[in-house]
A and B are shown apart, each in its own frame.
Chain A
Amino acid sequence: AQSVTQLDSQVPVFEEAPVELRCNYSSSVSVYLFWYVQYPNQGLQLLLKYLSGSTLVESINGFEAEFNKSQTSFHLRKPSVHISDTAEYFCAVSSNTGGFKTIFGAGTRLFVKA
């Protein structure tokens, strides 16, 4: 069975500081990995995803995540955060052989302080 563990429920950070949001997954088959973001009072939207190929994937707003198969991790990083990055971030996993269902982690709330 697939599962996702987000290791931090809340991450406070000062503006322009780097940040890492940690995600570990459990699956016995090849997986697709995702990071979604939820801004206050909004639905979820895709931030970035790993399907295959290069293990480092990037988003258009400066976030990146690296797929590490040996450590079963997909941590999200940004070298310099902005106030506008304050949101909840969800890691998710799915696979073709897992019935296509997507399982989400519990979320990490990122607070960016001035």
Chain B
Amino acid sequence: NAGVTQTPKFQVLKTGQSMTLQCAQDMNHEYMSWYRQDPGMGLRLIHYSVGAGITDQGEVPNGYNVSRSTTEDFPLRLLSAAPSQTSVYFCASSRLGGETQYFGPGTRLLVL
């Protein structure tokens, strides 16, 4: 049982490049979400999903796309990276209804 896994751990991009942050969970959780963590801002919700085929926007969705084709995977896509997207990204999963969220180890992204 690996829990929530994220790849890569660290990435450097140039402005305008695209990339996908991968997230997978093996706990059969319905709910998955992406957050970014910036100093003094806490965790801000980017996108979330309550099941395969269902996604919705969080607090800061601009510049990011997601899809949920399976229960296990929830990739986050940056279509055209900007320096403002430099951050640490966390993926999390849980059952629905007030359940504990389990977080991945994070991806540190630097956009030059």
Measured CB to CB, the residues of A under 8 A from B are 6, 9, 32, 34, 36, 42-46, 49, 51, 90, 94, 96, 99-107
**Is A101 a contact of B101 with CB atoms below 8 Å?**
no
In the complex, chain A residues whose CB is within 8 Å of the CB of B100 = 34, 46, 49
Kindly list 13 other residue pairs between chains A and B, CB separation below 8 angstroms, not including A43-B105, A44-B92, A100-B50: A32-B98, A36-B101, A43-B104, A44-B90, A51-B98, A100-B48, A102-B33, A102-B92, A102-B101, A103-B45, A104-B42, A104-B45, A107-B42
In the complex, chain A residues whose CB is within 8 Å of the CB of B90 = 43-44
Measured CB to CB, the residues of B under 8 A from A are 31, 33, 35, 40-45, 48, 50, 56, 58-59, 90, 92, 96-98, 100-101, 103-106
**Is A99 a contact of B42 with CB atoms below 8 Å?**
no
**Is A94 a contact of B56 with CB atoms below 8 Å?**
no
- Picked from B40, B96, B106, the residue with its CB within 8 Å of the CB of A43 is B106
Give Cα distance in the complex from A44 to B41, angstroms.
15
In the complex, chain B residues whose CB is within 8 Å of the CB of A99 = 48, 50, 56
**Is B104 a contact of A96 with CB atoms below 8 Å?**
no
**Is B43 a contact of A90 with CB atoms below 8 Å?**
yes
- Picked from B41, B44, B98, the residue with its CB within 8 Å of the CB of A96 is B98
Question: Considering only CB atoms, which chain A residue lies closest to B90 in the complex?
Answer: A43
Identify the interface centre among B33, B42, B90, B103: most chain A CB within 10 Å of its CB. B42
